[in-house]
Amino acid sequence: MNRKVSVIGAGNVGATAARSIADKELADVVILDIPQMQGVAQGKGLDMLEACPVEGSDARVLGTSDYADTAGSDIVVITAGLARKPGMSRDDLLTKNCAIVSSVTAQVMEHSPDCIIMPVTNPLDAMAQVVYRKSGLPRERVIGMAGVLDSARMRAFIAQELDVSVENTHAFVLGGHGDTMVPLPRYSTVAGVPITELLDKETVDAIVHRTAHGGAEIVKLLGTGSAYYAPGSAVVEMVESVLKDKKKILPCSVFLNGEYGVHGLFVGVPCKLGANGLEQIIQIDLTAEENAALKKSAAAVQELVQVIDMD
Ligand code: APR
């Protein structure tokens, strides 16, 4: 394969994403974890490589603790960090994950100075800001994964509620990847029809609430970690859109320079992802209420960014 994706962090999200990239034969895959994890990345990488003949994939998968093996990556997915435990908010993770993501970014840049980085580690929008500042990459090349996951959750709930194929659903979620995220029901549709015309207000509100708390719902059920199947799938959809230059419009956390009235902050907005990374930010008109919700969400991200001094 002539494309290379490195996944930093061989935990639940990293391994799920790496396996999916290999299975779909999108690129060769390097999965890296710290030496203290004693062979976990190496073991998982070999296991994935051995799954490839069954999956019919010629992707080469390598597990490692050595950043030299990540050299020349087209895309680097960062999942390194601590996962949320029950009772812990995403924001509690802030300081610890900031240190981890900062050191990971420095090492990634040494070996792949022109890569596109997709942070997944939480709290996502703040970690994307860390990657952006630390890497010095242009904003087109730092694209945080959050909105694809949040809208996938919303789509699953809409499909369940209306007993329709998930393929007929589209969901629109803006804002930071936290409790203040902004699901937009009037832009969320089934076969092109807004859900506000298909469901009563109470049901729509319940779907919006469940979407905004979708991560916490899984944390509570799992007891010992946070979601990883849907986060893994979500980042792979972004990877695929870039590697295949599909130009999909996906909600991603990107550095806003005045779009949506937000300046100098990573916040989730609809983005076109193609070979050059972030190729366009799609601006849509918001109602006064939606705009206020987005501003509130951006303010929550700003608070975190100030704590870690990454303005
Ligand atoms: N460099 C590389 N890997 C690291 C580093 C580091 N400096 N520090 C920690 N890791 C690794 C851990 O060793 C672990 O294997 O990151 C991995 C994280 O895996 P899990 O604990 O299984 O967490 P996971 O569920 O994958 O979530 C990772 O993604 O969705 C977010 O909130 C989630 O921030 C969390 C991240």
Give the pLDDT confidence of 255-282 residue by residue, as tens digits: 999 999 999 999 999 999 999 999 999 9
Q: How far is the CA of 33 from the centre of ligand 1 (A)?
A: 8
Q: What average pLDDT is seen over the chain?
A: 95
Report the pLDDT averaged over residues 38-52.
97
DSSP-derived letter for residue 83 is: P
Provide the pLDDT for residue 250. Answer: 97
pLDDT confidence band for 91 (50 / 70 / 90): low
Instruction: State pLDDT tens for residues 212-256.
Output: 999 999 999 998 889 999 999 999 999 999 999 999 999 999 999
Higher-confidence residue: 83 or 36?
36
Count of positions (residues) in the chain: 311
In sequence order, which residues have a C-beta less than 8 Å from that of residue 211 and are 6 or more positions away? 150, 153, 154, 157, 171, 173, 181, 183
CA dist 242 and 223 (Å) reads 34
* Beta carbon of 214 within 6 Å of any ligand 1 atom: no
Provide the pLDDT for residue 311. Answer: 64
Select from 8, 19, 20, 34 the residue to mutate for testing ligand 1; criterion: most ligand atoms less than 8 Å from CB.
Answer: 34
Handedness of CA 121, 89, 261, 154 (dihedral sign): positive
Percentage helix, strand, coil for the chain under 3-state DSSP, each rounded to 5: 50, 20, 30
- CA-nearest residue for atom 20, ligand 1, is 11
The answer to whether 10 touches 120, Cβ cutoff 8 Å, is no
Q: How far is the CA of 92 from the centre of ligand 1 (A)?
A: 15
CA dist 211 and 188 (Å) reads 12
**Whole-Å CA distances, 190 to 45, 162, 187, 197:** 39, 9, 10, 10
pLDDT confidence band for 38 (50 / 70 / 90): confident
* Beta carbon of 74 within 6 Å of any ligand 1 atom: no
pTM above 0.85, yes or no: yes
Instruction: State pLDDT tens for residues 106-133.
Output: 999 999 999 999 999 999 999 999 999 9
Report the pLDDT averaged over residues 36-42.
92
Provide the pLDDT for residue 90. Answer: 61
Nearest to 237 by CA among 130, 155, 136: 155
**CATH architecture designation of domain 147-307:** Alpha-Beta Complex (3.90)
pLDDT confidence band for 308 (50 / 70 / 90): confident
CA dist 170 and 156 (Å) reads 10
Cross-strand bridge partners of residue 273:
248, 278
- Biggest CA–CA distance in the chain, Å, is 55
Structure tokens at 310: 């990454």
Chain centre distance of CA 301 = 16
Instruction: State pLDDT tens for residues 150-178.
Output: 999 999 999 999 999 999 999 989 998 88
* Beta carbon of 225 within 6 Å of any ligand 1 atom: yes
Q: Reply yes or no on whether the pLDDT at 84 is more than 70.
A: no
In sequence order, which residues have a C-beta less than 8 Å from that of residue 47 and are 6 or more positions away? none
Q: Reply yes or no on whether the pLDDT at 206 is more than 80.
A: yes
Provide the pLDDT for residue 136. Answer: 98
Structure tokens at 28: 């060769």
Handedness of CA 156, 226, 291, 285 (dihedral sign): negative
Instruction: Classify 277 in phi/psi space as left (phi over 0), alpha (psi -120 to 50) or beta.
Output: left
Q: Reply yes or no on whether the pLDDT at 146 is more than 80.
A: yes
Query: pLDDT over 90 for what percent of the chain?
Result: 88
CATH fold, domain 4-141, is Rossmann fold (3.40.50)
Q: Reply yes or no on whether the pLDDT at 2 is more than 90.
A: no
Q: Reply yes or no on whether the pLDDT at 211 is more than 70.
A: yes
Decide if 177 is catalytic: yes
Domain ranges of the chain: 4-141, 147-307
